[in-house]
Amino acid sequence: MRSKLVLTGVLLVSLAHAREPKHYQTGELLQMESVECGYDENGGKGLTGQILGTDSEHKKTKALLCQEYVLQSDRVIYRIRPKDDKHPVLLPVGEKAQFRMVKDKMSLRVEDLDDKEREYFVISMTPREDSKTAESTSKLNHLQ
């Protein structure tokens, strides 16, 4: 009986330590833009028109707009779009955000909003120019 308790305790402790903590990077949401991300087509055909043969092939096409955010971290500028196109949450521009990369997506949370993690697609990544110049000047100062 006692050995079962000890074994159970060891297993619980090992499971608690096996789960790695989530490591977040910090960044700032610089801006939000509405960009075209597809088209919505609405054909003029109705059920009655198809049966009677009176509908024309007139289609209404309108561009769909998606939110695209610019997130600036210490070394990289990310352009991201929400994974959930139907119910995107409006993020506060100018606020700090915490993020981490999970496989090919970014999990992002804003503490001031509701502290929930949301998934975003990374559209592009650009290295920050000011971080390059800061690194090069620190290397030059170190060599002198």
Per-residue confidence (pLDDT) for residue 41, from 0 to 100: 75
Q: Which residues contact 65 (CB under 8 A, 6 or more apart)?
A: 34, 35, 36, 37
Q: What does the DSSP 8-state code read for residue 49?
A: H
Per-residue confidence (pLDDT) for residue 13, from 0 to 100: 58
pLDDT tens string 38-62: 777 776 566 665 666 555 566 778 8
pLDDT tens string 73-109: 999 999 999 998 788 889 999 999 999 998 889 999 9
Per-residue confidence (pLDDT) for residue 112, from 0 to 100: 82
What's the token pair of residue 120? 């975003």
Per-residue confidence (pLDDT) for residue 82, from 0 to 100: 93
Angle 140-25-74 (CA atoms, 0-180°, nearest 5)?
30
Q: Say what the pTM is.
A: 0.66
